[in-house]
């Protein structure tokens, strides 16, 4: 359903955002 697809997309986006933030912080140090 659309709701499930949205939930999956949100979770994927959150994981990608968290990983990106982590990499940026590591590179900054």
Please calculate the CA angle 3-16-18 and round it to the nearest 5 degrees: 110
- The total of other beta-carbon atoms located within 10 Å of residue 10's CB is 10
| Band of residue 29 on the pLDDT scale cut at 50, 70, 90 | low
**Residue linked to tokens 């990106």:** 20
pLDDT of 11 over the 90 cut: yes
5 lies in which domain range? 1-29
In the chain, % of residues over pLDDT 70: 97
The tokens for 17 are 């955002």
Residue-wise pLDDT for 17-26, tens only, equals 999 988 878 8
Tell me, rounded to whole angstroms, the distance of Cα 28 from its chain centroid.
19
DSSP result, 3-26: HHHHHHHHHHHHHHHHHHHHHHHH
Instruction: Summarize the confidence of residues 2-23 as an average pLDDT.
Output: 90
- The count of domains in the chain is 1
Which pLDDT score, from 0 to 100, does residue 18 have? 92
């Amino acid at each position: 359903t659309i709701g499930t697809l949205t939930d999956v997309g949100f979770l994927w986006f959150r994981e990608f955002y968290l990983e990106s933030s982590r990499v940026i912080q590591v590179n900054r140090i």
